[in-house]
Amino acid sequence: MFAVRMITALLALAAAASPAMSQDRRVPTSPVELRLSYAPIVQRVQPAVVNVYAAKVVQNRNPLLDDPIFRRFFGVPGQQPEQMQRSLGSGVMVDSSGLVVTNNHVIEGADQVKISLSDKREFEAEIVLKDSRTDLAVLRIKDGKEKFATLDFANSDELLVGDVVLAIGNPFGVGQTVTHGIISALARTQVGITDYQFFIQTDAAINPGNSGGALVDMTGKLAGVNTAIFSRSGGSQGIGFAIPANMVRVVVASAKSGGKAVKRPWLGARLQAVTPEIAETLGLRVPSGALVANVTAGSPAARAGLKLSDLVVAIDGQTVDDPNGFDYRFATRPLGGTAQIDVQRAGKTVKLTVPLETAPDTGRDEIVLTSRSPFQGARVANISPAVADELRIDADTKGVVVTELADGATAASVGFQKGDIILAVNNQKITKTSDLEKATRESARLWRIVVVRGGQQINVTLGG
């Protein structure tokens, strides 16, 4: 009887306690608890986030001028009307001398760049370095005679999903704005924005104009540079992407050293993703890692002993999930040292030491083609290991490749693309840039061109 009464009493106590336990609510006990805020972090970092205004002059070309019949009967006007195109973005001050990092797409093609500080002061800026592979650019304030507020870099490899972050920028040109959220994902590799597919995903509201702005962690350090949003409407839908601070650090370091291009380690091997079919063949439980598809003779990879069909699974102790992940990890390693790469070979783990050195760039001979031809306005280069690495083609490839196309140039309008390899023009074999320059100086009514694009050979015939 006593046992029954005891059980009844315990059940009554549990029923009485359960509402309080489930709610677990309390009244704030001090004014301090009512004033929990991100304001101290914002006040500290906000002066280091700037607005970036870029402008370029473009000609309003009438599409009828591309029609030879129109040109024959009506002639070509001597002076085309000009228009000023403007773009707006954000940037982050990373050096007190006035060095600003932003997105390359914010200032691409700009004739004039201005920086506006959070206190509304404006400065002219010059472009120090552009890196289309990461979509980053570094600017410098002209005639800066003061020490500017800056942000320190966080170690973006230490970020975790769920960490709270702040996004600061100038969305839609309304003025500097702060939003907050969490890190939704790390190492996003299927975004398709830059060569290095390894983004921080956040749900902090990011909108047009935020590009180049700061993603800040709770210590007030720069976790990443906001770059893109996933949106069907053009506005924020809670999916934004930022370039990790460790990649931003590499680009800024190249700018500080006086370089006009970013210097990165060169592996000298082409890697491919592991599909479920390949994983089954290799006896893997999950399709993970990066499979070696090609190794360039004499490259750091070759000297380290990397072999065809090796499966790269880690670099310096960090797991490699796919080729994009490896590319990011390898590109952020400091030059001059070594990296340890773990590979699976014949069922065993092999550790290889790869020297961290830049790709040879001898014999590039890069030129811009100006003669009247389908190639007019194209920048072309001989394929060196450095060029092959930049354009993601095999270093063993020989020939001449398109490295850049001027906006509105003939080459762009007829359909040439960056990365096109020119093999022949009007039955003339093209092996170096001087061959192509010579071929374009010869007038022709028809242009028969052989191009390799994405590994496929294309035969093109264009009218002169």
- Catalytic positions are 105, 135, 211
Our CA dihedral for 222, 314, 277, 187, rounded to 10 degrees, sits at -10
Q: How far apart are CA 137 and CA 108, in angstroms?
A: 9
How many C-beta atoms surround the C-beta of residue 260 within 10 A?
A: 9
Buried b (16+ CB within 10 A) or exposed e, 107-143: bbebeebbbbbbeeeebebebbbbbebbbbbbbbbee
What does DSSP say about strands 136-141 and 378-382: parallel, antiparallel, or unpaired? unpaired
Query: How many CA atoms does the CB half-sphere of 33 hold within 13 Å?
Result: 5
Of the candidates 106, 102, 114, the residue with the CA atom closest to the CA atom of residue 143: 114
Helices then strands (H, E): number in the chain? 12, 25
Q: Exposed/middle/buried for 301, CB within 10 Å: 0-12, 13-18, 19+? A: buried
Contact (CB, 8 A) for 99 and 92: no
E runs forming strands in 230-307: 240-244, 269-273, 290-295
